Amino acid sequence: MKVLGWAKTLGSVVRGPGGVRAVRELLRVNVRDSRVPEFTLPDALTDAAGQPVTTPEGWRARRAEILGIFRHEIYGPAPAGPALVATQLSETSALAGRARCRQIRLSASNEPDRPALHLLLYLPADAPAPAPVFLALNFRGNHSIAGDPSIRLSTAWIEEDDAGGVARNRATEAARGVRSRRWPLETILGRGYGLATAYAGDLAPDHPDLWRTGLVGSDIPADGGALSAWAWGLSRLLDQLECEPGVDPGRVALLGHSRLGKAALWAAAQDERFAVVLANASGCMGAALSRRRFGESLAFMNSAFPHWMAPRLHAYSRKEDALPVDQHQLLTLVAPRPLCISGAEGDRWSDPRGEFLALREASAVYRLLGSPGLDADEWPGSERPILGHLAHHLRRGSHDITARDWAHFLDFADLHIGPQARQRA
């Protein structure tokens, strides 16, 4: 976290649900590598009975064990429903005819009064075959990713922040395109990819008192959290992409940033249909190792954002060594699919070194399954990207998604699901 943002962060934390307790935990956060304690990670390839896992068949049983622990102790179970019905709202030309823009409402089949999930889908207009697609949730509504006035303006609750365009937690016309810098549509479409996105708040508003009022609503179990709701929604969006003409459902790249990077990893752990997975600056309870106790802490997250995770996780605040798993094991649940972990040098809050170490630890499972592991033993530092089956990218700068990040995401996707990768297959 940058010093220039410290006072503002303190103010927002004080006003947030955690109040003084969250501020206390914020002031305890460690951002010095010299203060990282010694720790021992649980072994992904030793099962609950203490036996080594040495075969791909043995890994399937071990994988089920690890997945069950994350579901019970960390993120909580997935919501049960509701069943969704799709209604296409519009299809228009976009980007001066280079793309088609489709808007689809996914609503509860038997409960028309429930909030709906709105999918925004861009596809290359001249693709010779069904296109690979990046799928990602967004933070501020579909209207925020582009200035196109034909995009439906969200009516859902939206957090007010510096991006502007939100009054009394509702979007105004001024909110159109406020996050377009994070979504370089022309570049993505120009490389032959589609882009699918939906507002996370349609599923569960990111507010501790309102998060059960979205589409998933009362279907979220008492021992669940908002991340499980967002992850559930990503799988439902993939269900819909499997039905959309012009989409290759076997080549969907799941992408998430920050807390939505946590949700993307959890969605990919549960749903093996996602072809490749990219998590950017996902940090605590994302890709970063909890036992490093660096950057955003478990205690701070539980205090400031108590609705994100399973209530059981609160018992582990400042007790990271007692966790039955660590985040390298979450990354193993993506195996053997290609996985990219990325972040920023100035974003110490997300612990980019801890994310790299988790990716390195997950390599053992990838190799067991016959896939390449991470092609590096030492943290490479910034602007030295690693491209491969396991990829890593650290750029200069702060907590964000930039054009530089997208260049790496697209290069990574090209290796595995892009047009040339398809020709090689």
Q: What is the mean pLDDT of the chain?
A: 94
Q: Which of 118, 393, 399, 416 is catalytic?
A: 399
Give mean pLDDT, residues 74-93. 95
**In the predicted structure, residue 85 carries a pLDDT above the cut 50:** yes
Catalytic entry in 107, 154, 258, 350: 258
If one counts every other C-beta atom within 10 angstroms of the C-beta of residue 34, the result is 5
> Could you confirm whether 399 is annotated as catalytic?
yes
DSSP-assigned letter for residue 308: S
Tens-digit pLDDT profile for residues 307-356: 999 999 999 999 999 999 999 999 999 999 999 999 999 999 999 999 99
At 252, which helix (H) or strand (E)?
Answer: strand 247-257
Q: Could you tell me if 277 and 338 are in contact, meaning their C-beta atoms sit under 8 angstroms apart?
A: yes
pLDDT > 60? residue 4: no
Mean pLDDT of 237-242: 98
Neighbours of 308 (CB within 10 A): 26
The residue written with tokens 């305890």 in the block is 28
* DSSP reduced 3-state for 100: strand
Residue 1 pLDDT level (bands cut at 50, 70, 90): very low
Q: Pick the closest to residue 206 from 169, 174, 175, 235 (CA basis).
A: 169
Q: Structure pTM? A: 0.95
For the chain, the residue count is 425
Distance, CA of 396 to CA of 405 (rounded, Å): 10
pLDDT higher than 60, residue 138: yes
Residue 301 has pLDDT above 90, yes or no: yes
Question: In the predicted model, is pLDDT for residue 41 greater than 80?
Answer: yes
Cα dist. 202→229, 267, 365 in Å? 10, 17, 35
Q: What is the pLDDT of residues 241-265, one digit of tens each?
A: 999 999 999 999 999 999 999 999 9
Which pLDDT score is estimated for 69?
A: 98
Q: Stretch 131-143: mean pLDDT, rounded?
A: 98
